[in-house]
């Protein structure tokens, strides 16, 4: 048990180093800690793009399978230059969108939607923060969530989205202005 606590206290960078350069036992322990530490985050990101928990669990599995393939013996290893969440976000997002598109190509007995449609929440209730965010475009909502829900810095959000920091700043500024001007936000802030 004490050995497990020792692994839990290591930074993501240390764990990645063990996965890349450690022996098989240490690499396995390190990967397990990374999984336990970040699985809730990956599911939360997945649920932004897919509607059901089962698909989000598939995203979780695919995301960590992708990460596992980065390490020896199948991969060359990984050097973590940012937070782990910055690395995991685009993997989880793209996996979720891919799984959703595949599911929409072969819809269930009832009619499906277009492959490029991202799920949108239904009409928001008064006082619903998700409803307030629904007024934003996908790009603006994404930077708001990364910055204020996931707690990423501007640079980390830019890295996760593979866009310049200036674009993140611009989208964030426009999103905040749009939220302030939104009647739904006015009801939320000033009932």
Supply the CATH number for residue 140's domain.
1.10.10.10
Asked whether residue 191 is domain-assigned, the answer is: yes
Structure tokens at 47: 């649920």
Both 95 and 159 in a single domain?
Answer: no
Q: How confident is the model at residue 172, as a pLDDT?
A: 95
User: 30: closest CA among 53, 14, 47, 46?
Assistant: 14
111/115 Cα distance (integer angstroms): 12
Both 17 and 96 in a single domain?
Answer: yes
Structure tokens at 51: 């509607």
- How confident is the prediction for the chain on average, in pLDDT? 84
pTM: 0.77
Q: What is the mean pLDDT of residues 114-139?
A: 61
Q: In angstroms, what CA-CA distances link 30 with 8, 62, 109, 118, 148? A: 9, 18, 43, 34, 29
45/94 Cα distance (integer angstroms): 10
**Is residue 13 scored above 80 in pLDDT?**
yes
Domain count, the chain: 2
162/30 Cα distance (integer angstroms): 27
Both 108 and 129 in a single domain?
Answer: no
Confidence of residue 135 (pLDDT cuts 50, 70, 90): confident
Both 128 and 153 in a single domain?
Answer: yes
Both 106 and 142 in a single domain?
Answer: no
Provide CB contacts within 8 A for 149, sequence distance 6+. none
Both 163 and 103 in a single domain?
Answer: no
Considering 92, 112, 132, which residue would you say is the last residue of a domain?
A: 112
């Amino acid at each position: 048990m004490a050995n497990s606590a020792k692994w839990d206290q290591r930074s993501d960078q240390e764990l990645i180093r063990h996965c890349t350069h450690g022996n098989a036992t240490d690499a396995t322990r390190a990967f397990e800690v990374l999984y336990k530490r970040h699985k809730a985050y990956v599911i939360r990101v997945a649920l932004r793009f897919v509607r059901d928990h089962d698909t989000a669990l598939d995203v979780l599995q695919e995301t960590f399978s992708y990460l596992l393939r980065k390490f020896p013996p199948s991969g060359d290893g990984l050097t973590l230059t940012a937070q782990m969440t910055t690395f995991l976000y685009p993997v989880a997002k793209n996996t979720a969108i891919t799984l959703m598109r595949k599911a929409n190509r072969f819809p269930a007995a009832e009619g499906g939607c277009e492959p490029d449609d991202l799920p949108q929440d239904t009409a928001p209730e008064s006082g619903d923060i998700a409803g307030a965010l629904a007024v934003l475009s996908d790009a603006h909502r994404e930077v708001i969530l990364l910055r204020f829900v996931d707690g990423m810095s501007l640079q980390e959000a830019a890295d996760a989205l593979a866009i310049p920091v200036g674009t993140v700043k611009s989208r964030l500024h426009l999103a905040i202005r749009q939220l302030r001007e939104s009647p739904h936000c006015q009801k939320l802030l000033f009932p």
